[in-house]
Chains A and B, each alone.
Chain A
Amino acid sequence: MLFVQIVNGLMEGVMLFMVASGLTLIFGVSRIVNFAHGSFFMLGAFLTYQFAPHILPGTMLGFVLTVIMAGMLTAFVGACFEVIVLRRIYHAEELLQLIVTVGMVMIMRDVVRVVWGMNDLATAIPDAMSGAVNVDSYWFPIYNLGVMGIGLLVVVVLWAVVRFTRVGVLLRAATDDRGMVALLGINQAYIFTGVFASGSLLAGIAGGLAAPLGSINFLLDTTVITGAFLVVVIGGLGSLSGAFAAALAIGVLKAVGVLYFPRAAMVTAFVIMAIVLIVRSFKARG
């Protein structure tokens, strides 16, 4: 049973990382704490619900295309949000930035309610990915394993882009000192919009992949953002590798925690955060 929970936990961890990675990248470069990040996840889920019946329904290819389309549209909305709104407030006070992104949460929630209504919606797991495989006499749903695989692929691609490409170098340079990047003649606007679009893309894809796993409703945003913030804070603001480790740890601890302390599962993550923050503040003091 423990084995099953660990695998489930890892899957949840990978999903959590897909959302949290975007959040931490955006914070690293723009120093904006983007509360609307969960809303992009939600939008990805709703768009997947919307497109799924029209793009080769039931097939694996159709589902992949659906999720990619949902992700791309979410990325477009994210990029518009950055270009139209956030770009004007990078130098503003943090509180103001916070209010703006929280405002975006409200707007997205209302848009979703107007377009898709108040009821829980659901989209089916594509036929090609339904069923389960038997590993060591335990049954694992194929879809969940597939999601974990896709998630890991995203992690590898993201890591390679950040580590080896010029875009990745600029992104890390901007996270270190964005003013200096401008003082070397680089146009930061592209970096900011690019990071925001990529972060939203990841959130949208994660939302799309999560869509068949539970009900889709207008409260998804807050559920997701809480977990993502936990990961980002534990992993260190702006750190991708930290976020990856934190996401897996939280996923597994929550899943295993359910076995032993079923009522305290959610608390576990917050306890870890508290411990990490306390230890870190001691370290900072030396």
Chain B
Amino acid sequence: MLIMKDVWASYGHIEALHGINLEVHAGEVVCLIGRNGAGKTSTVRAIVQDEIRVMKGTVEFFGKSLVNLPRREVIRSGIGYVPEDRRVFASLTVAENLSVPRSYGTSRLFDLNEVYELFPKLKELRARVAGVLSGGEQQMLSIARSLLTNPQLLVLDEPHEGLAPVITQQVIAAVNRLKSKGVSMLISEQHVRLIRECADRVYVIDRGHTVFTGTVEELDANTEIARKYLMVTRDSITSERM
């Protein structure tokens, strides 16, 4: 459904991506791995046309080019975006946050009831102002808000950034539930647990270009790549055990 071919992109004069190749098929969960600053967030932004400008290459969603499309048109074409810093509307209540998006998809899989069922905590907190929620609750809200556009592809940028391990568990559970509902996802992620439990395929990005594509098992088998790029994630396993 989503195909990025040899994408070069930059912020103003600063080039961030030099040749990203990536594909997401229907029903798949694909993870983007890479060190901090490798270009994960830039790749995601190049899909939703947020802040970054694609200079070369193609980004196609169901055969339609997304390059230079206004952000709202990208979303309306069926891509849900959960940004890195969550970006909930801090002065609005949870319920108001969830009333902002309109459904653009044909599936109508998610309505308010469905979303509250998926994240019961949000229903409890619906009258609360979003700015006072914990990081994890804001993350749930941000995902829920994006789901209400009924996207065919959900793009999550570092959903674990800055969250406590307990919350991480909830995010993994949420991703798995969405996966079981058939929602395709592209997740930029460092967290090894999520990658192992959810990902169908992984892409490794380094210095703005794709260096590896394959399943998690293939990544493990490729010792050189695994040692070079999963180092960080191996560390996080040990730190989690401690």
Tier of interface size on chain B: 20 to 34
* Inter-chain CB contacts under 8 Å: number: 62
CB distance from B104 to the nearest CB of A (A): 6
Kindly identify which residue among B72, B83, B89 contacts A185, using a CB–CB cutoff of 8 Å.
B72
Q: When A166-B99, A169-B99, A173-B100 are in contact, do A183 and B75 touch as well, CB less than 8 Å?
A: yes
A184 to B100, CA, bound (A): 8
Tier of interface size on chain A: 10 to 19
Q: When A176-B90, A177-B87 are in contact, do A185 and B104 touch as well, CB less than 8 Å?
A: yes
Chain A residues lying within 8 Å of B97, measured Cβ to Cβ, are 173
Query: Once the chains bind, are A172 and B91 in contact (CB under 8 Å)?
Result: yes
Chain B residues lying within 8 Å of A185, measured Cβ to Cβ, are 72, 75-76, 101-102, 104, 149
Chain B residues lying within 8 Å of A186, measured Cβ to Cβ, are 72, 100-102
- Chain A interface SS verdict (over half): helix
Chain A residues lying within 8 Å of B102, measured Cβ to Cβ, are 184-186
Query: Once the chains bind, are B149 and A184 in contact (CB under 8 Å)?
Result: yes
A97 to B89, CA, bound (A): 26
Within 8 A of B (CB), among A138-179: 166, 169-170, 172-173, 175-177, 179
A80 to B71, CA, bound (A): 24
A169 to B48, CA, bound (A): 24
A176 to B92, CA, bound (A): 9
A169 to B93, CA, bound (A): 10
Chain B residues lying within 8 Å of A112, measured Cβ to Cβ, are none
Query: Once the chains bind, are B92 and A183 in contact (CB under 8 Å)?
Result: no
- State whether the Cβ of B161 lies closer than 8 Å to any Cβ in chain A: no
CB distance from A79 to the nearest CB of B (A): 21
Residue on B nearest A187 in the bound complex, by CB:
B72
Within 8 A of A (CB), among B74-102: 75-76, 81, 83, 87, 89-92, 96-97, 99-102
- State whether the Cβ of B210 lies closer than 8 Å to any Cβ in chain A: no
- State whether the Cβ of A222 lies closer than 8 Å to any Cβ in chain B: no
- State whether the Cβ of B145 lies closer than 8 Å to any Cβ in chain A: yes
A-B contact pairs, 21 of them (CB 8 A): A166-B99, A169-B100, A170-B100, A172-B91, A173-B96, A173-B97, A173-B100, A176-B89, A176-B92, A179-B50, A181-B100, A182-B72, A183-B72, A184-B100, A184-B101, A184-B149, A185-B102, A185-B104, A186-B72, A186-B100, A187-B72
Closest 6 CB pairs of A and B: A185-B75, A176-B89, A184-B101, A180-B87, A182-B71, A173-B89
